[in-house]
Chains A and B, each alone.
Chain A
C-alpha cells in the first residue's frame, strides 16, 4: 500500500477534523445547528468561530503548504537534489529578510512594495546559493548546494533578527512569527492578493511536470534531449522564488514542508511529475493543516507557531534523507 492511496480519502477527513482544533471547543452539533439557522446563541458563536477564525486559517495553511510542497518537488527535480527545498536553500530566509527590511523602512503595511522587497531578497538568496553550488564544467554539486543554502539561510536569519532589533520591541516580537511561521486571521483581500499569484505560479510549475521529468536527468542530458535546459531551470527557480516571496510575508517561514510531502508521495516508487506534483500539493497542504492544528491545540500552553511544528517533524526526515542520498552523488 502506497502513501498516495491514503491521500485522497484523508483529505476531507483532515480538513474537517482541523476545524475542531483550537483553544475554543466547538461541537459538530452546534456547527450544523448554526448552519441550518435553527440553533441558539451558542450554535451561532460556534459557527462564527469556524467561519471567521478556523476556515480562513485552514485554507491558508492548506494552500501555502501545498504550494511550498510543489516548489520542493520541482527544486528536487531541476537541481537533481533530493534535499532541495525553499527553506533549506535559503530562499525563505531571503524572503523573510526582505520583509523585515520592508518593516525597517516603513513599507510593511503596503502589500506590493513589501512583496517586491521579499522577492528581490529571496531571488538574491537563491542565486547566491546556486552560484555557491556551481562547479565549472561539473555542474551543480549537491552537497555544496545544501551547505551554501544552510550558511546563507543562517546568515539571512541572523540579519533578519538584526534588522528587527533596530525596530521597536513590539515589532521585534514579529521576528519569531517571520522565522518560524504560522497562520493568522488576515483580511481576505490580503489572502487573495497572495494566494492568487502564488497559486498561478504553482499552476505553471504543475503544468510543466513533463519537463521536470526531463530536467531530473540532469542539465546536460536535458539539453541533449532538445530542452532549453538552462532557461527552464531559471524559470523554475524564478517561479519557486515567487511563491516563496509571496507566502513568507503572509505566513512567515514554513520550513521542511517541501521536503516532507514530496518524499512521502515518492515512497511508493514509480512517480512521474505529472502524478507526483498534484499528490505533493495535497499532501503538503494536509501536513501543514495538521501542523497548524497541532499548533492551535498546543496554543493553550503558550504560543507555538505552525512553522515550528513542521520543522520539528521535518528535521529528522532531512537527516534520514541525508543518510540515504548524501553519499550517493557526493562530488564536491
Chain B
C-alpha cells in the first residue's frame, strides 16, 4: 500500500496538497485536467520530487529513508518522456531497468541470462522485439514511449508508476497497451497510472483518484467513478456514456463557464 499523509509540494504559484490518501494494491488511475498535479504526485511517490511537508509510506516503509537500490525495487517509474541517450539501442536501454539486480558496477545487467530473457520478453510484450538492435534515438515518439514502459516492466518493482502511458500512441498501439496493462495487472503487478483520459482509466483501473488544483476531489472504484456527473465538475466539460459503456466528452466539447 502507498500511504500519503499531509503531503504538500510547491512550485512557483502551484500548491499540491495538503493531500492524504491510500493507494491499495491493484491498479489505480490518477486522473484530472492538465495542471492538476497528477504527474507531480507521481514524481513525489517515485522520490524524484521531494515534498515540502508530509510523508509517504511504501508498504509501511518511509519512502525518503530508502536507499536508491531498495527504492528501485519498490517503485519503477515510466516517465512521460526522456531525452534518448545517443548510441544506446532499444535493447540496451530496456536492459538498464535490470540494474537493481546486478552488482554495483552494473556489468551483470548486460551479461546475465535472466536479465537478457526479461528484456526479450518485455520487448515482445510491447511488440518491439524486431527493433531490439535499433538505436533508441531514431525510433518514433510512440515507440520510445513503449521502450520506457518496457524498461519499467523489467525492473519488476512492487509498484510500477506510469505517467500518461497512452501519450503519443496511435490507435493500434493504444489497444496493444491496453492488452499489455491488463496482462501485467493479471500477473499481480501493482500499477499507478496518471492519465487525463477518463475512459482509458475506467477501462483499466480498479480504482480512480481524481485531482483538481492540487487536491483530491473524488476517489472511487473503477467504472463507478467514470460517470458524467462526477467528471463534469473536475474537467469542466460535459461527458456522456456511450451504448458500449464508454465515457467520452460530449461533442462538440462544451467548456462550461465558471
* Chain A interfacial positions (CB closer than 8 Å to B): 77, 80, 82, 137, 207-208, 210-211, 213-214, 216-218, 220-221, 223-229, 266, 269-272, 274, 276, 328-329
Number of A-B residue pairs, CB cutoff 8 Å, is 90
Q: In this complex, what residue of A is CB-closest to B135?
A: A269
Known: A77-B85, A208-B106, A225-B99; 11 extra A-B contacts, CB below 8 A, are: A210-B107, A213-B88, A213-B92, A214-B96, A216-B88, A217-B83, A218-B83, A224-B47, A224-B72, A227-B99, A271-B88
State in angstroms the CA–CA spacing of A328 and B137 once bound together. 12
Interface residues on B, range: 35 or more
Q: How far is the CA of A150 from the CA of B93 in the complex (A)?
A: 32
The smallest beta-carbon distance between A146 and chain B, in angstroms, is: 16
**Minimum distance in angstroms from B91 CB to a CB of chain A:** 10
- 22 inter-chain pairs at a CB distance below 8 angstroms, sorted by A residue, are A77-B85, A82-B86, A207-B105, A210-B105, A210-B107, A210-B109, A211-B106, A213-B85, A216-B85, A217-B83, A217-B85, A217-B93, A218-B82, A218-B83, A220-B48, A220-B79, A221-B79, A224-B71, A224-B77, A226-B68, A226-B72, A274-B110
Q: Is the Cβ of A208 less than 8 Å from the Cβ of B92?
A: no
Indicate if the CB atoms of B71 and A270 lie closer than 8 Å.
no
Once bound together, how far apart are the Cα atoms of A274 and B71, in whole Å? 26
Are B87 and A224 in contact (CB-based, < 8 A)?
A: no
Question: When chains A and B are docked, how far (Å) is the Cα of A80 from the Cα of B92?
Answer: 17
Q: Which B residues lie within 8 Å of A329 (CB)?
A: 83
Within 8 A of A (CB), among B25-81: 46-49, 67-69, 71-73, 75-77, 79
Quote the shortest CB–CB distance from A263 to chain B (angstroms): 9
In angstroms, how far is the closest chain A Cβ from the Cβ of B107?
6
Report the minimal beta-carbon distance from B3 to chain A, rounded to whole angstroms. 20
Q: Which residues of B contact A (CB under 8 A)?
A: 11, 46-49, 67-69, 71-73, 75-77, 79, 82-83, 85-89, 92-93, 96-97, 99-100, 102, 105-107, 109-110, 133, 135, 155
Name the distance in Å between A85's Cβ and chain B's nearest Cβ: 15
Q: Give the 10 A-B residue pairs with the shortest CB-CB distance, closest first.
A: A226-B72, A210-B106, A216-B85, A271-B87, A226-B100, A226-B69, A224-B77, A220-B48, A225-B99, A269-B135
DSSP class of B's interface residues: helix, strand, loop or mixed?
mixed
User: Closest CB of chain A to B252's CB: distance in Å?
Assistant: 34
List of A residues within 8 angstroms of B67 by Cβ = 228
Q: Are B155 and A225 in contact (CB under 8 A)?
A: yes
Cα distance, A271 to B87, chains bound together (Å): 5
User: B156 CB to closest chain A CB, in angstroms?
Assistant: 12
Report whether B110 and A226 are in contact in the complex, using a CB–CB cutoff of 8 Å. Answer: no
B107 neighbours in A (Cβ, 8 Å): 210, 274
Say yes or no: B82 contacts A276, CB within 8 Å.
Answer: no
Q: When A80-B85, A217-B96, A225-B155 are in contact, do A208 and B79 touch as well, CB less than 8 Å?
A: no
Give min CB distance, A79 to chain B, whole Å: 12
- CB < 8 Å neighbour of B92 from A137, A226, A272: A272
Rounded to whole angstroms, the CA-CA distance of A271 and B97 in the bound complex is 18
Least CB separation from B98: chain A residue: A225
Task: Give the Cβ gap from A258 to chain B, nearest Cβ, in Å.
Answer: 15
Contact A226 B71 (CB under 8 A): yes
Alpha-carbon separation in the docked complex, A213 to B105 (Å): 11
Among candidates B68, B73, B97, B110, residue contacting A223 with C-beta atoms closer than 8 Å? B68
Q: Which residues of A lie under 8 Å from residue B86 when comparing CB positions?
A: 82, 216, 266
